[in-house]
Amino acid sequence: MSSTLFRTKKVEQSIRDTEEPEHALKKSLSALDLTVFGVGVIIGTGIFVLTGTVAKNNAGPAVALAFVVAGVVCALAALCYAEFASTVPVAGSAYTFAYASLGELPAWIIGWDLVLEFALGTAVVAVGWSGYVTSLLANAGWHLPEALSGRDAADGFGFDILAAALVLALTGILVLGTKLSARVTSIVVAIKVTVVLVVIIAGAFFVKGDNYDPFIPEAQAVPAGDGLQSPLIQLMFGWAPSNFGVMGVFTAASVVFFAFIGFDVVATAAEETKNPQRDMPRGILGSLVICTTLYVAVSIVVTGMQHYTDLSVTAPLADAFKATGHPWFAGFISFGAAVGLTTVCMILLLGQTRVFFAMSRDGLLPRFFSHVHPRFRTPHRPTILLGVIIAIVAGFTPLSELAELVNIGTLFAFIVVAIGVIILRRSRPDLPRAFRTPWVPFLPILSVLASLWLMLNLPAETWLRFGVWMAIGCLVYFVYGRTRSRLGREESATAGTN
């Protein structure tokens, strides 16, 4: 039985599956498109909110160093993703990579995790976008009825019509074609990056050197907790992280790390890339470098405009401009955040549908969802199904509940991909690799350790939710996926003819 659970799918077979007419996606993306996708999904509200919040609570002006540390951790994972995406240019990202190296059950587990993570992530972003748009409409004197403004604003029936409408509109764009999605994303990302650059340049004129003193504030111990909201490492070893000081920089890095989540979504579009061997590494690493640079610049500006002890935790950048006598920037920042969240939502939805599509093509989910549109060459069936479900979830679920996103899944995917690089190097040294992760196995091992460290700093409650969802996934696999696996049936057919 164990041999069937860990049977691997050869890279050559995965690539051949992408050439079947009814299951083949259209190749239309370039390195620039991939970089735009990466920047589009990474830069969200985090750049306007998280920078100041972490500066005030965890690191002071040294939050810039925390972004560098988090960027390095992501870079370790990105190098592993780049090798896999250029070697196995197939939809599915970490799911496909795990199938080629670790086996079917680990691949199913990571695919199951990514589908949930991307779905909830899309819903969270859609509700956040709705909040920004509602605020902008209110400033213009337009108000939606309470019943259509979401569950948080309603006493009785409440449906977030704006969040649902956004998801459905983006679903339609994704059905019409990935290239169209790339064009829309390019326009929106250009607006978003322009807003960020204007904020950086304008804010630089209000920077005061005294606000950087001290750059690394004196360390403050954090009392150890014993509840499910406490980091797992506290419950296991009684160790509590510290705020400020050198260790506070690392504490801050574990928080701001989640502002980088999304670059791995670029790998889900490998099958739709014209030259994945060359362009996937460029898109993944290029978007990460650009976003890290912007994050560091914004953090330096916001801590220079206002002393870190005076920063607000809800809208630190906007309030910093208000404190310098320029309140109109608050609306400008809200506009940039609302525009930016559009692309985050779209790319998360794209990533989720590609993972779902890849799993259905392998038979682990119903094969009905593995057929592409005859004209647009997109996975229209899973896109429509998931788009409608997410629109309903976003419309009816309060943001306070949606915000409990299982971020642990991304770190788990990082670990799986890093281990997969080591295994595939040993099991298939003959594979042509357009991009090779340097210093294997040391760099992938370092990536595993860094990701595991951040996972241990997550609340125990997050680990509990993760375990429950994984248990449900294993049940679904043994009841449905294992017996309908395309790879399993092909192996049985081959054994029957011998």
- Sequence-distant (6+) residues with CB within 8 A of 124 are 399, 402, 403, 405
CA distance 356 to 370: 9
CA distance 115 to 120: 9
Residue with tokens 């240019």: 89
What are the φ/ψ torsions at residue 82 (nearest 5 degrees)?
-65, -40
Q: What is the pLDDT of residues 99-129, one digit of tens each?
A: 999 999 999 999 998 888 788 888 888 887 8
| The predicted structure's pLDDT at residue 149 | 63
For residue 351, being part of any structural domain is answered with yes
pLDDT band at 380 (very low <50, low <70, confident <90, very high): very high
| The predicted structure's pLDDT at residue 295 | 92
In 3D, which of 175, 173, 484 has the Cα closest to residue 359? 484
For residue 121, being part of any structural domain is answered with yes
- Sequence-distant (6+) residues with CB within 8 A of 350 are 37, 174, 178, 181, 265, 268, 269
CA distance 89 to 288: 20
- Sequence-distant (6+) residues with CB within 8 A of 259 are 42, 44, 46, 47, 50, 67, 70, 295
Domain carrying residue 362: 44-488
Q: Compare 59 and 132 and report the one with higher pLDDT.
A: 59
For residue 82, being part of any structural domain is answered with yes
| The predicted structure's pLDDT at residue 400 | 47
Give the HSE-up count for residue 219: Cα atoms under 13 Å, Cβ half-sphere. Answer: 13
| The predicted structure's pLDDT at residue 224 | 60
**At residue 403, does pLDDT exceed 60?**
no
Residue with tokens 């998360």: 348
pTM of the model: 0.87
For residue 23, being part of any structural domain is answered with no
For residue 476, being part of any structural domain is answered with yes
pLDDT band at 80 (very low <50, low <70, confident <90, very high): very high
In 3D, which of 86, 70, 399 has the Cα closest to residue 261? 70
Per the structure, the count of domains in the chain is 1
For residue 20, being part of any structural domain is answered with no
Count of other CB atoms within 10 angstroms of residue 476: 15
| The predicted structure's pLDDT at residue 242 | 76
- The CATH number of the domain where 282 resides is what? 1.20.1740.10
Task: Enter the tokens of residue 451.
Answer: 């990701």
- Mean pLDDT over 437-460 rounds to 90
For residue 493, being part of any structural domain is answered with no
Q: What is the DSSP string of 222-241?
A: -----STTSBHHHHHH----
Angle (CA) 412-480-379 rounded to 5° is 70
| The predicted structure's pLDDT at residue 253 | 87
Residue with tokens 């690394």: 216
**At residue 222, does pLDDT exceed 50?**
yes
End-to-end Cα spacing for the chain = 20
**At residue 470, does pLDDT exceed 60?**
yes
For residue 416, being part of any structural domain is answered with yes
**At residue 136, does pLDDT exceed 80?**
no
| The predicted structure's pLDDT at residue 401 | 44
